[in-house]
Structure formats: C-alpha cells, structure tokens
Chains A and B, each alone.
Chain A
C-alpha cells in the first residue's frame, strides 16, 4: 500500500463524478471504477465513499435509485443529474488548469525564473 498516493481534499468528489459520468453505478462499482481509472494508484478507504455520495445527492449533483446489480443483489445506483454534469465539467476544467500550473511551476529551473 505504500506506493499509493493520498487523496487531496476535494478530489474524491471529482473522482466520483467522473466515475458516475460514464454510466450509472452502485457504490461498490464507483469504488472499482475509480480503482481502474487510476490504475489502483489512489487510495480510497471503502467506507469513506458513502458520506461523499450522500453529500453529492444532497447537493443535487447525483440522483440515486434502487436496482439489481450484476451479482444479482439489490444495490443503490447513482447517476449524474443535469446540475451534476455541469459541475463535473467545471471541476474538470479547473482541475486541469491547476494541474497544468502546478506541473509548470514544479518543472521550472532557476535560469527561467
């Protein structure tokens, strides 16, 4: 586990939005998809997912409905609302800006400054 990166605050929400933007998922599915997408490089404690999911529902970014999973179990599926999709786009853009700026800053050498 030592080579897994710690999550920056606020990034969990964005990861969840990204995961769900590809299609409705139940909670465990969100976890799996985040794992796939990040190449298992990011650590999310499993239970920590749920407060985030409930918060996103409260904020009207996700909506939830009960359904049946591929394992034939009852599970709650989450999908993006219109507001959620919009927020996802905005957050992605601002993340990209930040990431570009950060990497540019970290790559600069003494003579360039």
Chain B
C-alpha cells in the first residue's frame, strides 16, 4: 500500500468531509445518468430509462457507505469513539481520575528527572565536534589525570595514537579592566586547544600553537561567550582591548563559540589563556618534570586507533621516560584512556553507579505505581462487571470492550505523563540554575531534551499498557449470564489473588524505598556531626590570592601578617590564621615523605604520601584542631630557623611508630630538606568524608610561603555582620585585592554535595514510595469494605463486636501490608550496602533505621486503613438490608 495515497485518502475523509460527500454523490449520480442515456438511446422513455438505471445500480446508500469505508481509516473512527467513551466514563468518576493521574504523574515525573540527570551526566557528549573519540589520559599508578608540563610535551610529540594532544588546567585570577578588579576562572589551555577540538571563535580569533614561544610568551585571552555576554554586555569592540590579569597585560583576541564551556562537564570557566603563561597564576614550574599540575591531557584518537592501542602506545612512551628520568617518572609506566567529561573514572564511575542505582529505584517507583493502578483498574473492572456483562449480552465483542478499557488506561497514562513531565521540567529548570558548590563555577545543565521527552512518552504508554492489561483476564472470562443473574452480591473470591500479589509487590517496593531513604538520611545526619578534626561552627573563611594584586616574595609575607593582625583586631574575632589549603577544602596538596635515615630519595622508597598544609601561627586555635603534644607554630618559626613541622597522629604512628617517638624526631622531603617535628595534632578528614585516617603534616607558612591563602577566622559574632567588616578592613589595606568570604560549612559543599544529593534524591523517592503504599493499601481496604458491606451488616446485626468487625473487614489488607513490608525491609537492608558507597556511614544495621521503617510502614498502614475502618464501623445493618 502506498502511504502517501493512503494518507491523502484519510486526510480527505477527515478534513474535507463535505466536499468528499458531494463529490461522491456527483460521481454516483453521473454513473446513473450515463446508464440512463444509454437506455434512452435503446428506446426507453426518459422516465423509464432513469428508473431502470437506478434499479440496475443497486442499493445506492449501501454502496455509498461501502465506498466511504473503502477510503480507509476506519480504525481512526473506532479509536476516536473509544476515546470519547472513555472520557465520558472517566468524567463520571473524578476521584478515580485524579488519583490515578497523580500517582502516575509522580512516578513518571521522578523517572523523567532522574533520566534527565543521567542524560546530562552520562549520555550527552561534550559540546565539541566528534566527541565520540575524544579521550583523556588516565595514569593508573596514582589514579589521576594530572601531568607535568615536560611529560605532556613528550607525550604530545612522541605518541602515534592521537591526532593532537591538548592540555588544560583550571586556575583563578583577578581580571582588571580599568575599574573594580573581579575574580575570574581561567582555563589555561595548550596553544593547540581550539584547533585540535575543531572550534571556531564567535568573534575575533583564538590562540594557536604558533603563539607559544616559551614561558609567559603569549599574553592572549579568549573570553567564553557566556562571560562576554554577562560581563561585557556582548560589546563587540572588546576584541583587541588590553586588560590586566593578575596585573599582567593581556590582549583579548576573541570570543569563544556560543555554548562552549570548556572540556569539563558543568564547569564554566570565564577566560581561556595559553598554558605557557602558567607562572603568572600558579607557583608551578613549567620545566619541572616532577610537578604534576596539569589538570588533564586529552585528544582525538586517530582514525582506526582503539583506546587499548593508544594506551599501549602511551605505556611505551611512559616506560621510556621512566628510564630516562628515573628520579621523576617512575610511576609513569601504565596508562589507560578515560572519558574527559567527568574527569575519567574519578568522578565518572561513582556518578555512573549512583545514577544507575537511582534510575533503578525510579523504575521501581514506576513499577509500584503500575501495580497500584493495575489493582485499581482490576477493582474498577470488577465493579463494572454488570455493565460489561450487559454490553456482551447485547452483542458487543470482547475485543471492543477490552479496547475501551485500554483506551481508558492510555488516556490516564498520557495525562499522567504530561503532568509528570511538566512538573519535572520545572524542577529541572531550577536544578540547572542552581550553583551547587559555591566556590566553583559549576552549573548542572540538566534541562530536558528530545530524548527525555521521548522516554517519558514511552514510559507513559508502556505503563498504561501494563496496568491496562491487569483486568484483561477478568473481561475475557466474564460470563454475562452468570453476572447478570448473580447481581451485585457476588462473593469476594479468587478474583483477588492477582490483586493481592500486586499489592504485596507494591508494598515491598515501597518498603525498599523507605528503607533506603532512611538509611541515607541517617547517614548524612551522622556524617554532619562527625568529628572532622576541626570545627565547622563559628568559622569564616577569607580567600585571597596576593598574586592577583601583584605581591611577591617578602612583600607578600609581610602583607599576610598585617592581614592576620588587622582581622584579629576586629571586635568579636577570637583568632585568625592563614593556611594555603584547608582540610576538606577545594584544593589539597600531597607530598612524599621519607624517614630520616633514607638516603636514596626516589619515589619508591617514600615512607608515605601525606597531605601537607602551610599554616600561619595561631592556625590550630583558629581551626579548632587539638594539639596532642608539643607546641604550635610561632612567628619565630621563620626562614632563619631550621624547618619545623607539626604532624598528625597517623603520621607519627606511621613514620615514627608513636606520638612520643615523633616529638623532636626528623623526617625528610623529596628535595632532601630535614624537618623536625615540634608538635603532634589530632587526625581529621582531609580528602574525603569517607577516608580512613590519613597521614598529614603542617609547615609554617613563614618557612614555606604561599601567595594563595585562606584565612580561617574564629568568632562567635553573627557571620552576616562579620563578613562585611572583614571585607571593609581588607579593602582599606589594599583596594585592588579580590576577597572571597564564606563560611567553613559552605566551603565543604564539594564534599557534602554527593551525600546531600544522594539523600535528597533518596528522600524524595522514599516519600513517593510511602505515598504510593498509602494509596495502594487504601484502595484495597476501601474496596474490600465496600464489597463486604452486606456481610459486615449481618455480622453487626448478629451482635459482632467492633474488633470482630474490623478484623473481618481489614484483616486481609493488614496481613498483606505486614507481609509486603517484611519483604521490602529485607530487600532494603540488602540494597543499602550499595548506599554505603555513596553516603558516609550509611549502615542498614542501625536499630534506629530498622525501628523507623517498621514504625513508618505501620503508620502508613494505619493512615491508609483509617477511613475504610471508619466506614466498616459505621455500617447501619438495617439501612443496608433494606436496600437490597
């Protein structure tokens, strides 16, 4: 059959009905007239000929109808009829309609949201041409992507697998356009960055490999399109203008392509600058092979090269480099390739696992909703059995009746899908505008795209078919004669079995969700009251980078001391101290340490990898970290004195054996410096909330200077007032220094982000699960009471007690609830093992959680059976028996 001809035919039938009818009449009449002409020619009179022609034509109306049907599209008419009928029946039971649509809207909305996030994080590629063969280089030995500049150059020039290897790193700078300096996020990228990715500027030009001529040789900046719009109001004359980045003059050569936010998902930098200028924002040495500061190296694989082949190629180069530079590159032997968008496996794997888990739970919600709606539909079909019987008796086909039921299911599922999707779009919009981690320019662009809409539609239709299919057997088996004869007082028999199973499944699923969410919430609550090894309350952090205001060397050290004194002098401030990085902060540094008697300082003989913090005197008091023994730093621990350190207990245990032995002992760093331990501090959390005790040590910032610092301010004053006071004080000292102030808790956003999101997501799913189980139990209990009204009435008339009536009416739903909850709790406890990976301290064997789940399910059951129970108790046997 030709589709165009078919569609034309149907279109004419439905859209040009009147014209079609008159055409058809004219054609048939023309036929009769032609025949009459012939008959007249053969000798009949005009009237006789016309009469004869009409007779020969046959049943005019019948053929006209048949012709009309031959135009096709009968099923559309049938479908429209079904829909109209379903709409009419649904309108008659608005309660049923609202309940079912809302149930489904919740379930489909949850799925749309989770899928949209999954889509944004995992399915959607980076917004560059040919993202499918773009890979980052992952170093297996220390599970990072960090590289040093010389290694990057070697790998770039010697590999045979990548079209072009690019490198980028992220840093911060002060951008001065003439007035008020502002803080910007830089994406320092290798000269070949834009060319290798195949990106064209929106305006002006980008920088190229040919612009690089050694360190700090390329003062060119490319603004991202978004930053250009928000901070330069899309001013086209900006191209060619010279601005100052950390006081260094830079020419803005161009504007990046719209919708390009760099090559790290969700991270929105403001300015691209050449990576060869790195020394203008970082302390790292471009020529130091051991200094791995480049955030990521990545590139497009050459056509026909597999990731495994490329990794082999890199291993070859790495082994060679390790041989040539044994001092630095010992670990450089084994590589693999990883997706660059979520920083390879580091973020990617837990994210994938968590989102897949979430998707599974959302799928369970939908399944529970389907079970719920399925049992509602079955109950409804049972209630309508008389109507169905009547229709069957009057000659309707069973197929037609089933089609009607399915039409209802599909209508409800589409309505539910639409409402759910609308809700999820609102939610996702909000999520996309939210900045989850205040220090970083992160934005989760999770707005739904065509794929999400398609999935939601598909889920709606599939679930409609699933729950629409539940009453099929009932209708197929219905015997009109029996049903009409028996009337409404059929016994409540085996027909319930399927519905019972559905309800138990549904309650079990809901109990799993409630258990998971309780485990997660409890885990988060615990991890927030954890001992971090520092205090979170009553602390403000003040981030500054003296390089941004042009300070160097001694100048910077003097300024830092003045800053501490100025802030400490503010009324209400108990103490203030500086640190280059903070435990559980945005950045962290780690370094290898050696025992004092190690002479060969190569990486493999290191005693431990330790976190290292450079802090000013007063830090331990300001941070709230307890010193176990020894002394804190003083202002005399400066350059003129031998280097000293304060180590944590884990460090003391690992390097020296005990706290007592550590005090006064020495250890060595990579460059051979001997450092004496003058104090031992308690352990804390440094890199993540879930880590085991890690060795860490603190150096005096006077002996190990850093221009980038965070000042920790301890004060009981209202933080809303204290912040501006500090800002004003620092502005008085240097108006050109950008200052960023936040609370200690806010600074930990990055670490709490995962657990928080997990808890919110699981919490929401748990609440939805609870709601679904309420509607499910309520539905069954109400139905069971209404079916047994007569029986209950007789019992009451015969003198049954309230408890007995309740037992007769509700024993079944309550038993099902208990059974389902038990199964769900067990499954939930098993599933919670997975949660423990994401949510710190999430343990299902927590008596509080177990008690909570049992209590919650009990309350849900009580809530859901309350109204049906009231109805059962208030039965008036006389009125009831009179009715029949």
Seen from chain A, the residues whose Cβ lies within 8 Å of a Cβ on chain B are 26-29, 31, 45-48, 50-55, 57-61, 69, 71, 73-76, 83
Contact = CB atoms under 8 A, between A and B. Distances in A.
Contact of B70 (A55, A69, A73, A83): A55
16 contacts: A28-B31, A46-B35, A47-B28, A47-B63, A48-B58, A50-B28, A50-B66, A51-B69, A54-B68, A58-B71, A71-B33, A73-B33, A73-B34, A76-B23, A76-B30, A83-B2
A74 B63 contact: no
Q: Size class of B's contact patch? A: 20 to 34
By DSSP majority rule, is chain A's interface helix, strand, loop, or mixed?
helix
A65 to B, nearest CB: 12
Given A71-B37, A73-B30, A74-B30, A51 B6 contact: no
B63 A59 contact: no
B5 interface: yes
Given A45-B58, A59-B1, A60-B2, A50 B35 contact: no
Contacts of B66: 48, 50-51
A50 B69 CA distance: 11
B70 A58 contact: yes
B70 A26 contact: no
Given A46-B57, A58-B9, A71-B37, A51 B30 contact: no
A51 B69 CA distance: 8
Given A59-B6, A60-B1, A51 B35 contact: no
Contacts of A75: 27, 30-31, 34
Interface string B47-61: 000000000111110
B4 interface: yes
Contacts of B26: 74
B57 A47 contact: yes
Interface string B1-33: 110111001000000000000010011101101
Given A74-B26, A75-B30, A76-B27, 19 more contacts: A27-B27, A27-B30, A46-B35, A47-B57, A50-B28, A50-B31, A50-B66, A51-B63, A51-B70, A54-B68, A55-B70, A58-B1, A58-B5, A60-B5, A60-B6, A69-B34, A71-B37, A73-B30, A76-B30
Contacts of B33: 71, 73
Contact of B72 (A26, A58, A83): A58
A38 B67 CA distance: 25
A27 B4 CA distance: 23
A48 B69 CA distance: 13
Nearest to A27: B31
Contacts of A47: 28, 57-60, 62-63
A52 B70 contact: yes
B198 to A, nearest CB: 46
Given A46-B56, A73-B33, A76-B27, A51 B5 contact: no
A54 B71 contact: yes
Given A28-B35, A73-B33, A46 B6 contact: no
Q: Which of B5, B66, B69 has its CB near the most chain A CB atoms (within 10 A)?
A: B5
Contacts of A51: 63, 66-67, 69-70
B69 to A, nearest CB: 7
Contacts of B72: 58
A57 B5 CA distance: 7
Contact of B34 (A54, A71, A83): A71
A71 B23 CA distance: 19
Contacts of B23: 76
A54 B73 CA distance: 13
Contacts of A83: 2
A48 B28 CA distance: 11
A59 B8 CA distance: 10
Contacts of B28: 47, 50
Contacts of A50: 27-28, 31, 63-64, 66-67
Q: Which of B31, B56, B68 has its CB near the most chain A CB atoms (within 10 A)?
A: B31
A54 B6 CA distance: 11
Contacts of B60: 47
B520 to A, nearest CB: 60
A73 B35 CA distance: 12
A28 B9 contact: no
